[in-house]
Structure 1
């Protein structure tokens, strides 16, 4: 299966509906078995997500496929083994034609872990293990990678890693709106205690 064939088939799946399933896994397995590389599939799906940026529903389906490609999904539908975690750093600067972002990857991941500990009620070592097993640990290579991460709150990512998909249907909050003062005071304290920076800052190039 060629890269163009893979892109065509996956775009058809996106148009049809849900993409976080075994039928998409089989398409990716066919691609892999024909010699396709994980990194190529990742770049392809990132571009598809960009192409679908005008339709949030379709773009979310593209991101679901990207989750399968990168291994951030249920074990039953994984295609490639997880890549080794990168050394996390702050101050990553990424740009497109109009916008730039400073992404503090280390600080972002540390904050997510501390949220998992304080609000998810797990210990730090388990939080680290869960984070290292996720897409969030991968160093972003494009501004779209950062946009994918930052379109959700750190609190959401933490609860997702602790409680799994659709956790909010179990009564677990996906944000801190109902306890915002307490949360913001706690976050400020954590950032000061561990010398963490704000996760990201977007800016206009012109």
Structure 2
């Protein structure tokens, strides 16, 4: 359960103390909301409510390094489409490929809204 939505949350791999992830949760949630707004044609309020009430967010365990790595294996675009259109959205005719302009749009949105450049930053500690 999420108590505080912020960026720069550090997770250290309990199986290997030399590996860590910095999770930019605030940026991750905001970019997913924005993707739903732009590519699923929802309002900010609709996308915000969809994201915050989704099982993706409700089941997010911010104490478990291994669970967090699961979320990092999919793109924000994938999570947004799953929230907007449901599981297996690609079988409903929704393209699972990011639109052609996606990377440019995402980079600009992150910069314009002072979001982290990446939602997940993997590090090896020394």
User: Same fold by TM-score, threshold 0.5 exceeded?
Assistant: yes
Q: Give the Å deviation of 1:139.
A: 5.3
Greater share of helix: 1
Gap runs ≥5 in structure 1: 1-82
User: Is 1:93 aligned with 2:10?
Assistant: yes
User: Is 1:127 aligned with 2:47?
Assistant: yes
C-alpha distance 86-174 of structure 1, shift in aligned 2 (>3 A): farther
Gap runs ≥5 in structure 2: none
Q: Secondary structure at the match of 1:126?
A: helix
Q: Which of the numbers 133, 138, 143 marks the counterpart of 2:65?
A: 143
Greater share of strand: 2
Q: Give the Å deviation of 1:205.
A: 2.8
Structure 1 distance, partners of 2:44, 2:4, is 18
Q: Secondary structure at the match of 1:146?
A: helix
User: Is 1:110 aligned with 2:30?
Assistant: yes
- Between 1 and 2, higher relative CO (CA 8 Å, sep ≥ 6) is seen in 2
Assess if the C-alpha contact under 8 Å between 1:95 and 1:142 holds in 2: no
Correspondence for 2:108: 189
4+ residue stretches of structure 1 with deviation over 6 A? Answer: none
Aligned pairs for 1:1-206 within 5 A: 85-96=2-13, 97=16, 98-134=18-54, 135-136=56-57, 138=60, 140-176=62-98, 179=100, 182-197=101-116, 198-206=118-126
Assess if the C-alpha contact under 8 Å between 1:130 and 1:161 holds in 2: yes
TM-score normalized by the length of structure 2: 0.87
Count of residues in Structure 1 that have an aligned counterpart in Structure 2: 120
C-alpha RMSD of the superposition: 1.6
Structure 1 distance, partners of 2:120, 2:111, is 16
Q: Greater CA radius of gyration, 1 or 2?
A: 1
TM-score normalized by the length of structure 1: 0.55
